[in-house]
Amino acid sequence: MDSDEIALLEHTWFPVARADDLRDRVLPANLLGRSLVVYRGPAGVMVAEALCPHRGVDLTEAAVRKGLLECPLHGWRFDGEGACVYKPKRRPGGALPRQRLVTYPAIEAYGHIWSCLSPTTRTPPRLAGWGGPGWSYGCAKPVQLTGGLVRLVDLFRSPPLTPPMPDRDDPTLLRWPVDEPTGETTYQVTVPACASAQARTPDGGHWLIADFAAPITAEADRVRRFRVVGARGTGAASPPPQPAPAGAPPVADHYREAFARAYRELAFSGPILEEAV
């Protein structure tokens, strides 16, 4: 990827941690070569740079005290906006330090914590049917992969490789609805972060599997894959994958074409992305 494409990724939401792993501790994370920390504060989930602004101490060893991120060296505590609001042994009436911790926006969705490095009007990818009644979900342990964001299509090991249906409202969305012997399955890729498959089985069951790929290196050539699996009803077991038709183009080719198209359309579509190009 060139520098403009990398800059565009900074305006994109990516998962940085599983929500279940967070609890009351600080989790380390990486996104586009930046070392981050993820934790829960009074206002919800927080994502910040993993360097204390005072002495550059690694905050992956920090603690959460009363909802504040506490540096392990001098005990400075930072709020969700990055301001130092507590300093041990501060003189009565003395001013608090002016150094501020770099923070990033954070939300919780699909069992994961998401963040982006630059301002954006975009949202995490949409998973149709998520959160409906009767569904149960589980999140797999994240794994690290080499090969860039295109590795998210590893979910489709034997997918239907017919041309995708375009989405008129979202140029980043590719969708393949397929009628299979075991039920109706819809394969979907939302460029650049999400690949999913959802199915309805003849006996009324539903299942969902979604992969989210987050670039962890500055060059976006290594990713961390996050996965969520959901099921509802008695027929929710995953159907066996169907063989691809002979001579069909690889899903990765569709992905690359969609990424190029989405990049062109998004990068020049509004002021929020102008600085990226």
Over residues 193-214, the pLDDT tens digits come to 788 888 887 777 888 888 899 9
Total number of domains constituting the chain: 2
**What is the pLDDT at residue 257?**
53
Structural domain boundaries enclosing 65: 11-115
Closest CA to 212 of 240, 192, 231: 192
Residue type, 107: I
Query: The pTM is what?
Result: 0.80
Examine the pLDDT at 47 and tell me if it is beyond 90: yes
Same domain, 141 and 81: no
Burial 158-193 (b: 16+ CB within 10 A, else e): ebbbeebeeeeeebbbbbbeeeeebbebbbbbbbbb
123 assigned to some structural domain: no
Same domain, 167 and 261: yes
Q: Per DSSP, which regions of the chain are E strands?
A: 14-18, 27-31, 34-41, 44-49, 63-65, 68-70, 77-78, 84-86, 103-104, 106-109, 112-115, 136-139, 143-146, 165-166, 173-180, 183-190, 194-200, 206-215, 222-232
Same domain, 110 and 187: no
Q: Count CB neighbours of 102 within 10 A.
A: 14
What's the CATH code of the domain at 162? 3.30.530
Mean pLDDT score of the chain, rounded to an integer? 78
Better pLDDT: 167 or 262? 167
Better pLDDT: 114 or 146? 114
Examine the pLDDT at 176 and tell me if it is beyond 80: no
Examine the pLDDT at 136 and tell me if it is beyond 80: yes
